[in-house]
Amino acid sequence: MGATKEIKALLDSGETDKAKIIKEVINKTGSPKKYVYKAYRTIMAKGRPNKKKETQAVRTIKMMDLVTQERLDHAKIVRAALKQFEPDDCAYDDHLCRDLEIAKDRWKDVRDFEEFHNNQVLLPTKKRIWCLPSRRLELLKLDGVREV
């Protein structure tokens, strides 16, 4: 019987003392001390679970949720600005974008939201105007002013 099998047999029988196990295996098998120590280490390593470094879990978010969240942040800014409008106030599209400090590519997304269509009109010069819905109805009565 080999040293590895002998070590396993002694461990299965309940022996736990390392020195005693190695001494018995050397006496029974006649294997060199180096070989028996290596066999013991190999068997004991297999018996213990590998201690791997625990990696931190990466928090992920679904892409569409991220896009929606990003859009909502800018929409919140626009909603807050519209709440500050007086009934007679109007603002050009590009001026409002600049005043709210929203990037032009984000602004294009925000102004196309359906909830903001009631706050916009298009002048004959193709300029977009932002206003409150009550003011929008008055502006639509003027010549050349269209809905967005």
Collapsed DSSP state (helix, strand, coil) of residue 81: helix
> Is the pLDDT at 34 greater than 70, yes or no?
yes
Judgement on whether residues 137 and 91 belong to the same structural domain of the protein? yes
Higher pLDDT, 147 or 71: 147
- 65 domain-assigned: no
For residues 121 and 128, what is the distance between their CA atoms, to the nearest angstrom?
Answer: 6
- What one-character-per-residue DSSP string does 14-55 give? T---HHHHHHHHHHHH---HHHHHHHHHHHHHHHSPP-PPPP
Percentage of the chain beyond pLDDT 90 is: 30
For residues 132 and 86, what is the distance between their CA atoms, to the nearest angstrom?
Answer: 8
Give the model's pLDDT for residue 126.
92
Structural domain harbouring 40? 3-47
Give the model's pLDDT for residue 90.
92
> Is the pLDDT at 116 greater than 90, yes or no?
yes
Among 103, 106, 144, 110, which residue's Cα sits nearest to residue 127?
Answer: 144
Give the model's pLDDT for residue 65.
74
User: How do residues 49-72 score in pLDDT, each as one tens digit?
Assistant: 555 556 666 666 677 776 667 666
Judgement on whether residues 89 and 143 belong to the same structural domain of the protein? yes
Query: DSSP letter at 145?
Result: -
- Neighbouring-strand partners of residue 129: 92, 121
Judgement on whether residues 42 and 94 belong to the same structural domain of the protein? no
Please provide residue 131's backbone torsions phi and psi, each rounded to the nearest 5 degrees.
Answer: -160, 175
- 104 domain-assigned: yes
- 101 domain-assigned: yes
- 72 domain-assigned: no
At 58, list the tokens. Answer: 């990466």
- 68 domain-assigned: no
pLDDT band at 147; cut points 50, 70, 90: very high
* Residues 80-94, mean pLDDT to the nearest whole number: 90
Q: Is 122 exposed, middle or buried (0-12, 13-18, 19+ CB in 10 A)?
A: middle
- 63 domain-assigned: no
Give the model's pLDDT for residue 87.
87
Give the model's pLDDT for residue 8.
87
Query: Whole-model pTM?
Result: 0.52
* Residues 120-136, mean pLDDT to the nearest whole number: 93
Q: How many domains does the chain have?
A: 2
